[in-house]
């Protein structure tokens, strides 16, 4: 049994999202309780001063230490939450304070690993910690992250991404999934699953699980693209080639590819696959259909193709996904 005491330093600053700060300590606290004979975690909230920090929710949080106090302490995990602002048109943007960036840049090299919660990925990116790495963030600011930090491979789909000793997590409740993954990395899957049960979470979601439903994703698309999206949904079980979609939209195949890239940020093939995976996920969660029937109904054709798509998109298999997220009773043998 692991008996190492791990110091988790969570960065605080005015306007920080409250759940980003309070969610992870709950996970680490339960891990300490669920682990026999283990010292577990010591969570410290760190800010510029020890004065109360006002979160985005208006709740005041009292820091345990200052950044200067951490200079002589060994940090196991540096956890960086984020903050957003919403304009008059309800558009969300991540807010990055240069002073916080500088503090994180100095502290990060002294940490065994660094993790961002939600839009905290923008802070890590501003520090240069995500250059050349794959990373995720809340889907609402993913385009901003990609536009402002071109050296970062932004993937808005997963719940969390690990790239070496740098972890990035998606938004809101996904901070719990990220924290559980950190616990599993330290103390093993069994401990993480016990913590998940205490949190009344439906076990642990695999990191590759999508943040949101592809067909419901909000994008700024033209009517022609919207019509194509609905056409794809109606004919998902059928062969959907670029030629067929181009004929449906009355454009050339090259123009169709350009339209998808400009308006949806992806290729026709990748978009169709993402929608098929989403449909398959729903069937695996809510029906007892075999993998063969699921593959056929969602347009994959074969189980092998279905499995490859799940591994590529969700980093898991259809069988494992059904085991974790099934919402209907398993059939009686």
What is the DSSP track for 70-108? GGGS-EEEEEE---EEE-TT--EEE---HHHHHHHHHHG
Residues 145 and 284 in one domain: no
Residues 44 and 169 in one domain: yes
d(CA 79, CA 39): 20
Q: What is the CATH number of the domain that holds 140?
A: 3.40.50.880
Residues 173 and 94 in one domain: yes
Contact 125, 149 (CB under 8 A): yes
Residues 170 and 278 in one domain: no
Q: Is 118 a catalytic residue?
A: yes
Q: What are 49's two structure tokens?
A: 């001063």
Residues 41 and 161 in one domain: yes
Q: In Å, what is the CA distance from 280 to each residue of 156, 255, 269, 295, 300?
A: 20, 29, 16, 7, 9
> Of 144, 163, 198, which closes a domain?
198
Residues 264 and 187 in one domain: no
Contact 214, 278 (CB under 8 A): yes
Q: Which of 75, 81, 95 is nearest to 165 (CA)?
A: 75
In which domain, by residue range, is 84 found?
6-198
Residues 193 and 223 in one domain: no
Residues 190 and 253 in one domain: no
Q: Which of 118, 127, 175, 298 is catalytic?
A: 118
Residues 110 and 168 in one domain: yes
Q: Is 159 helix (H, G, I), strand (E, B) or coil?
A: coil
Which residues touch 112 (CB under 8 Å, ≥6 apart)?
Answer: 75, 76, 77, 165
Ramachandran region, residue 164 (left: φ > 0; alpha: ψ -120 to 50; beta: rest): left
Residues 193 and 238 in one domain: no
Q: What is the pLDDT along the chain (333 residues), one digit of tens a residue?
A: 455 789 999 999 999 999 999 999 999 999 988 886 456 899 999 999 999 999 999 999 999 999 999 988 999 999 999 999 988 878 899 999 999 999 999 999 999 999 999 999 999 999 999 999 999 999 889 999 999 999 999 988 788 889 999 999 987 778 888 998 899 889 887 788 788 878 866 444 444 455 544 443 444 446 678 788 889 989 999 999 999 999 998 899 999 998 888 887 789 999 999 899 989 988 898 888 999 999 999 999 999 999 999 988 887 899 988 887 765 554 443
Residues 238 and 283 in one domain: yes
Task: Output the pTM of the full model.
Answer: 0.65
> DSSP string spanning 188-201?
-HHHHHHHHHHTT-
Residues 280 and 223 in one domain: yes
How many domains is the chain built from?
A: 2
Element at 46 (helix H, strand E): strand 41-47
């Amino acid at each position: 049994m692991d008996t190492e005491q791990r110091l988790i330093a969570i960065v605080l600053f005015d306007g920080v999202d409250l759940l980003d700060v309070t969610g992870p300590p709950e996970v680490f606290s339960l891990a300490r309780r669920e682990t026999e004979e283990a010292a577990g975690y010591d969570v410290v909230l760190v800010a510029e001063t020890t004065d109360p920090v006002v979160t985005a929710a208006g709740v005041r949080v009292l820091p345990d230490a200052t950044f200067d106090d951490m200079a002589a302490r060994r940090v196991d995990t540096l956890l960086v939450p984020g903050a957003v602002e919403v304009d008059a048109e309800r558009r969300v943007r991540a807010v990055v304070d240069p002073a916080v960036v500088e503090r994180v840049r100095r502290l990060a090299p002294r940490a065994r690993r660094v993790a961002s919660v939600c839009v905290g990925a923008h802070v890590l990116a501003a520090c240069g910690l995500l250059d050349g790495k794959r990373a995720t963030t809340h889907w609402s600011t993913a385009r901003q992250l990609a536009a402002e930090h071109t050296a970062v491979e932004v993937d808005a789909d997963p719940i969390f991404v690990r790239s070496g000793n740098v972890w990035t997590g998606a938004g809101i409740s996904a901070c719990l999934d990220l924290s559980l993954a950190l616990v599993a990395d330290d103390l093993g899957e069994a401990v993480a699953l016990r913590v998940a049960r205490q949190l009344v979470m439906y076990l642990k979601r695999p990191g590759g699980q999508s943040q949101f439903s592809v067909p419901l994703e909000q994008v700024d698309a033209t009517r022609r693209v919207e019509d194509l999206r609905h056409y794809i949904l109606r004919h998902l079980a059928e062969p959907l080639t670029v030629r067929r979609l181009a004929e449906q939209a009355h454009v050339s195949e090259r123009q169709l590819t350009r339209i998808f890239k400009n308006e949806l940020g992806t290729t026709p093939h990748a978009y169709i696959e993402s929608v098929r995976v989403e449909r398959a996920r729903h069937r695996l969660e809510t029906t007892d259909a075999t993998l063969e029937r699921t593959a056929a109904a969602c347009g994959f054709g074969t189980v092998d193709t279905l499995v490859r798509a799940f591994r590529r998109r969700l980093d898991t298999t259809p069988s494992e996904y059904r085991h974790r997220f099934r919402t209907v009773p398993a059939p009686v043998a």
